[in-house]
Structures are given as structure tokens and as C-alpha cells.
Amino acid sequence: MRRILLRRFAQIIPLILGVIVLNFALIQMSPGSFLDVMTAEQQVSDPAMIERMRVLYGMDKPVVVQLLKYIWSVMTLDFGYSYRQNETVLAVIGQALPATVILMLASIAIALLIGVLAGVIAAVKVNTIWDNLISVGAVFFFAAPTFWLGIMLMIVFSVRLGWLPVGGMRDIGVDHGVFGDALDVMRHLALPALSLGLFYAAMYTRVMRASMLEVFRHDFVRTARAKGLSGAQVVLRHVFRNALLPVVTLLGLQLGTVLGGSVVIETVFSWPGIGSLMLDSVMSRNYPVVLGVLVLSSLIVAVANALVDIAYFRLDPRIRAR
Amino acid sequence: MLALTEDKRPQPGRDAGPLLSVDEIEVTLFTRAGKLTAVDRLSLEVKSGETLAIVGESGCGKSISALALMGLLPWPPAKLTHGKVVLEDRDLARLSEREMQDVRGKDLAMIFQDPMSSLNPVLTVGEQIVEVIARHDPASRKAMRERALELMRKVKIPDAERRFGDYPHQLSGGMNQRIVIAMAIACQPKLLIADEPTTALDVTIQAQILELMKDLQAETGMGLIIITHDLGVVAETADRVLVMYAGRKVEEGTVDTVFDEPLHPYTRGLMGATPSATDQPHGRLSEIPGSVPALAALPVGCAFNNRCPSAFERCFAERPVLTRPAAGRQVACFAVQQEGA
């Protein structure tokens, strides 16, 4: 067990190296640099001044040297300096990260809860009105763009009904106390997490339904019924756990896209997370931050994937044996 | 008080009333192409301690009859559309699903063909045995575990304590079938239905499993229905044999009489297709020509007429009904009737 864990986590290192090289190359290939934005904003036009800045930021060196220097500094946990916020990249990301992690976790929780439950109901009530309603709902939420869904939810629940805040993460200028603050964040979280979560919930619903129906056909389900177990006992004890495996696989594969989706949703709801930071940084060609976000987020996804693998390992004894 | 003059224990073949009495059950498949009769007015009886073998080729309605008895017909498309299934004095066909759940696994148990796929891969074999006990006869976790271990020892699983926590994929097919049997006998069922219990197993293991089932039957006095296409299994285990073809009973009798003198041409064909030690070496294995007709395309008259060596005009016009050429003997064949007449 420990060896498998070690091996699983060791696989992350080459993956991260690949991510760094690829994204570094991507940024090198894109037109313009943060110097252009900086000099334009400060209205600097003296070529000697620009040249001095190029040397200062090490941009006169060959690309390969820049890359190696970057990899080296990443290994020492130095992701560079953001000229815009005048802080280290790590500090900038560190401020935005918790918001995104909260949003991701909430979305995944919503997606799993709704998706698995709806999938189970659709499978148990297969070919009934419930199944049809759930399936139509799933197709709708799967097809609806998340930003559109976000805006619609915002219009209904924030603008028209006024139940929930329009955006942001906290009420500004109000002191709620520790407990009240948590509640305040949750109120702000509800709509963005729902917009993002419903899309994945739709997918999990479809997968869970199909997977349940597949497991229902297995011989051991007949054995369970032959034991005299009730329908609910058969579903919960025998079908559910076996049917959950494909959903867990999907979850692992999708952690990256959940992070990607949060970029959009954070922008819609002005959620102060990595997504908003990323968008700002791209706009201002703040490449050290862009690169830092990409590297750190791929690290998060890789670690989360390893954790999902371990969950899989716990769920299915057949994998443990190998 | 012990009555010495009368043995109250159920004896096979004695005049004790039947444990199970199935009366003219009919299973209909409701398909897009229309209604098909998968089991056509099948009647049978099983006494306590007695073993009835149901034989026939694949697709003749053996397994679906067993599922009908268990109330486990897969709906859609299969449904019990006629008949009674009386276990002791209760008609199971009239019970609600909830009432039937109390019967299944307790009074009436079933074991299936492939032990590897009939166990849940993500639960330990011990948990799966405990589950039946917990369903019908709940006790403390420790007591139920003890009983499960006792059952595992009873079905001769070596090192039961260690095996208790194993998953099905860690055991061999024979061991898994023993687990399945342990689950089936956990609540001392009155009747056990075994659907091809040895088909998926190695020949050497087959004999052990049959032996085990016979021992358990002798010990508990339960009735046993064995469904098989293997006449060797019938000869080894059964008291009586019922031959099915295309959803109908074509012949029934005690194993001795049917094996000594098979009446129905189909039964004779089955016997001819079983190799025996006295066969000519390198001689051709005889077979029944053709195959079981599809339910949707049963021939007019006797369903066997297109493969039957003794068929004559009447067989193509009318369906033969069951006649009783001797006590305890039934056969549905015009050729046999003609011979007897």
C-alpha cells in the first residue's frame, strides 16, 4: 500500500515538469510581453530605459536559460515576482487560492450529491415520468453554458427575488463575527457553486443512471434478491457501491475542468479567486503570475487525482489485489 | 415423546403430502413481437427430502421456471400469467412482493450457475453470508458472525476464520460455490433450487459440490430441485426426473424408470447424446439433429416434431397432452400412446 502511494505521488513530478515546459513555451510564443504593457502604462519611450528593464527582468537571456532558471526557482518554491501587485507570485496566488478551493469543493459536493441522487432515482424508476424528468433536466443543465446559467440564477435569485447577493465573497463593510462571516461567505457562495456544480451534476446523473442500470443486470443482484432483501436493500448494499466506481473515475478526470470552469464563474460572480486573478493577469500580460497559476493548479489537479485513485482503491477490492 | 412406531421424518417417495406443489404455471414473455409462452402449463411436485431434476437443452424453460417459483421473473418481459406455486399450504404466486421477500432466502432458497458472478465483488464473502442471517434471523453482530463461520465450516471451507474477510475474487470457483450454498442454507430452507450448480466448475469440483448438496439435504431433510442439462448429475443426485422441451413437460418419472426405459423420443435422444464408458471407442457420439425451436417459431403440433425420428402425421397436426402410462410416470407423445394402445 505505501509503495503504491509513493509511486502514485512520484508520477506527479515529471507531470509538473512537462506542464512548466509547455506553458513556458506557450507564453514565449504569444505576442507582446509585460514590458510592453508596463512601459505603455508608464509612458516610457526611451529605448535605453526599456533595454535596462529587459536586463533587469532577465529577458535578454536565451529562452532555454530563462526556462532552466525558472524551473530551478520553482524547485525552491520561488515563482517569481508580480510587478503589478508588487508582491511575490506565491503571495498573490496564496491570497486568491482559498476562495477558489472553497468554490471548487462546494461545486463538487453539489455535483456529487445531486448527480448521484438523481442518477439513482432515475435508474430505480427507469422509464417512468421521474426518469424522463431527470433525464431532460440533466440534458438541459449539461447543454446550458455555465456563464449563462450563472447569469440566469443571478437574475432570478439576486435581482428579482433579492434572496442572495449578486457577487463577491463577503458583504463589504459589515462585521458579522466569525460565525456570521462563515454564513455570509456561504450566502455568496451559493449561486456560483450551483452554476458550476449543476453542469457536473448533470453529467454524474447520466453516468450514475447508466452505471446503476448496468449493475442491475449482474447475477449478484439476482442473488441478493434471492436472499429476500428488499428492493431498497438491494439497491443500497449491492448496486450502489458497484455503480459508484465510474462516477469516481469521472470525478478524477474532471477536477482540472472544474478549475477551468471556475475561471468563468468567478468572473461572472466577481468571486475573488484564482480565476479572476488569472483573467486579470492575462489581460495585463502579467506572465509570472499566469505561469505560477498554471503550475500550481496543475499541481492541485495532479494531487487531487492521486487522492481519487486512492479512493478508488478503497472502493474496489479487486484493484487492491493487483 | 419419541414415537418409535412411526418415523415422522420426511421420507422421499413415501406418502407424505408434497412440500411444493406447482400447478399449471404459465410464464408469458411480453415482447414487442407479441406474447410468447416461455413456460406452458408446467406442473410438478417435490416432497421433503426428495430431489427432483429438471433436464432439457438450453432455452427449454428450465431456468425461467425456477425464477417463476422464486418470484424473481425479470419483468419486463417475463410474467407469471397462470397457475399456483404452493409451498406447504401457501400459494406463493398470490403473495405480495413484500410477503415474498420473507419467503425468499428463508423457506425457499436458490443457487445460481456461475458462482463467480453470483457474489458481489465489493463485499467480503463473510458479510454476504451474514446478510441473509441479518435479513431473516437477526442477532448480535458477533452471534451472526459465529453462525456464518459455522456455515462456512459446514460447507467445508478450510480455514473459515481467515476466509471470512476474503473477497470473491480471492477464492476459487468451487470455494465461491460453497459460499453461495452456505448463503442458501443459512436459514434452513424447506426447498432449495439449484440452477446448473456445477456447470461453471471443474469436473473434480463438480462431484464435491454435488456430494456436499446431498449431505446437506440428508441432514436437513430439505426438498431439492436441481436444474441441469447433465444427465450424469441427474443419475447421481435425483430421485425423480422431469424432462422439459420448448417450455413444456414432455416426460416425468423416477430416475430409475426414466433411465431404464426412456419413453419420449426427446428423452431417448438426450440419453443417446451422453457418452458412457461402455461406448465403442472412437465411435461417433450420437446427437439430436437440429436445435430447440425459437419460442416465436414453434412448429404446429408437437414442438419436437421437426427433430423427432418417430414423428407421424398426427404429430404435425395436434399437440400431445400428458398421459400416464404407469403410476408416477408421465409422457406427452403420440408415438408412445400408439405403441401402448
Q: What is the 3-state secondary structure (H, E, C) of B243-297?
A: EEECCEEEEEEEHHHHHHCCCCHHHHHHHHCCCCCCCCCCCCCCCCCCCCCCHHH
Q: How confident is the model at residue A211 (pLDDT cuts 50, 70, 90)?
A: very high
With 80 as the cut, is the pLDDT of residue B288 above it? no
**What burial class does residue B120 get, using C-beta atoms within 10 Å of its C-beta: 0-12 exposed, 13-18 middle, 19+ buried?**
buried
Domain boundary among A60, A89, A118: A89
Compare all CA atoms of chain A with the CA of B100 and give the residue at the minimum distance.
A228
| Predicted pLDDT at B341 | 55
Do A202 and A78 reside in the same domain of the chain? no
For A216, the grid coordinates are 442491475
Alpha carbons A204 and A310: distance in angstroms, whole number: 20
Summarize pLDDT for B24-44 with one digit per residue, the tens: 888 988 988 888 888 888 999
For all residues of chain B together, what is the average pLDDT?
85
Alpha carbons A101 and A65: distance in angstroms, whole number: 34
Domain boundary among A89, A114, A134: A89
- Report helix, strand or coil for B22: strand
Do A69 and A100 reside in the same domain of the chain? no
| Predicted pLDDT at A179 | 77
Do A8 and A154 reside in the same domain of the chain? no
Q: How distant is the alpha carbon of residue A155 from its chain centre?
A: 24
Do A138 and A242 reside in the same domain of the chain? yes
> Where is average pLDDT lowest: A195-209, A218-232, A278-292?
A278-292
Choose the mutation target among B87, B101, B151, B180 for the interface with A, i.e. most A CBs under 10 Å. Answer: B101
For B307, the grid coordinates are 427433430
Q: What range does the domain containing A51 cover?
A: 2-89
CATH number, residue A152: 1.10.3720.10
Alpha carbons A310 and A308: distance in angstroms, whole number: 5
Do A44 and A180 reside in the same domain of the chain? no
With 50 as the cut, is the pLDDT of residue A216 above it? yes
Do A11 and A49 reside in the same domain of the chain? yes
Summarize pLDDT for A122-132 with one digit per residue, the tens: 999 888 999 99
Which position has the higher pLDDT, A184 or B41? B41
Q: How confident is the model at residue A55 (pLDDT cuts 50, 70, 90)?
A: confident
| Predicted pLDDT at A56 | 80
> Where is average pLDDT lowest: A255-259, B82-86, B141-145, B146-150?
A255-259
Q: Which residue has the cell 485513485?
A: A309
Do A62 and A196 reside in the same domain of the chain? no
Q: How confident is the model at residue B5 (pLDDT cuts 50, 70, 90)?
A: very low
Compare all CA atoms of chain A with the CA of B109 and give the residue at the minimum distance.
A226
Residue B70: CA count within 13 A, CB half-sphere: 31
Do A111 and A227 reside in the same domain of the chain? yes
Between chain A and chain B, how many beta carbons pairs sit less than 8 Å apart? 76
Summarize pLDDT for A63-75 with one digit per residue, the tens: 888 888 888 888 8
Choose the mutation target among B69, B98, B106, B120 for the interface with A, i.e. most A CBs under 10 Å. Answer: B120
Name every chain B residue with its beta carbon within 8 A of the beta carbon of A241: 122
Summarize pLDDT for A94-144 with one digit per residue, the tens: 888 888 888 988 999 999 999 999 999 999 988 899 999 999 999 999 898
User: Is A219–B117 a contact, with Cβ atoms under 8 angstroms apart?
Assistant: yes
Percent of the residues in chain B that have a pLDDT greater than 70, as a whole number: 91
Between the ranges B117-121, B198-202, B325-329, where is the mean pLDDT highest? B117-121
Distance from the A122 Cα atom to the nearest Cα atom in chain B, whole angstroms: 17
User: Is A242–B112 a contact, with Cβ atoms under 8 angstroms apart?
Assistant: no
Domain count, chain A: 2
Do A39 and A163 reside in the same domain of the chain? no
Domain boundary among A89, A114, A143: A89
Query: Rg (Cα) of chain A, in Å, rounded?
Result: 24
User: Is B170–A225 a contact, with Cβ atoms under 8 angstroms apart?
Assistant: no
For B48, the grid coordinates are 421433503
| Predicted pLDDT at B284 | 62
Q: How confident is the model at residue B3 (pLDDT cuts 50, 70, 90)?
A: very low
Do A50 and A134 reside in the same domain of the chain? no
Distance from the B11 Cα atom to the nearest Cα atom in chain A, whole angstroms: 27
> Where is average pLDDT lowest: A209-213, B43-47, B286-290?
B286-290
ipTM over 0.90: no
Summarize pLDDT for A220-263 with one digit per residue, the tens: 999 999 998 988 889 988 999 889 888 888 887 787 788 888 88
Task: For residues B177-185, give the mean pLDDT.
Answer: 91
For all residues of chain A together, what is the average pLDDT?
85
What DSSP assignment string belongs to A7-72? Answer: HHHHTHHHHHHHHHHHHHHHHHHSS--HHHHHHHHHT---HHHHHHHHHHTTTTS-HHHHHHHHHH
User: Is A230–B101 a contact, with Cβ atoms under 8 angstroms apart?
Assistant: yes
Do A8 and A37 reside in the same domain of the chain? yes
- List B43's β-bridge partners, or say none: none
User: Is A227–B119 a contact, with Cβ atoms under 8 angstroms apart?
Assistant: no
Task: For residues A171-178, give the mean pLDDT.
Answer: 72
Residue A224: CB atoms within 10 Å:
27
Task: For residues B270-297, give the mean pLDDT.
Answer: 70
Distance from the B146 Cα atom to the nearest Cα atom in chain A, whole angstroms: 19
Q: How confident is the model at residue B280 (pLDDT cuts 50, 70, 90)?
A: low
Question: Which long-range CB contacts under 8 A does B279-282 form with residues at least 24 apart?
Answer: none
Do A115 and A249 reside in the same domain of the chain? yes
What's the residue count for chain A?
A: 322
pTM of the model: 0.77
| Predicted pLDDT at B2 | 43
- Report helix, strand or coil for B186: coil
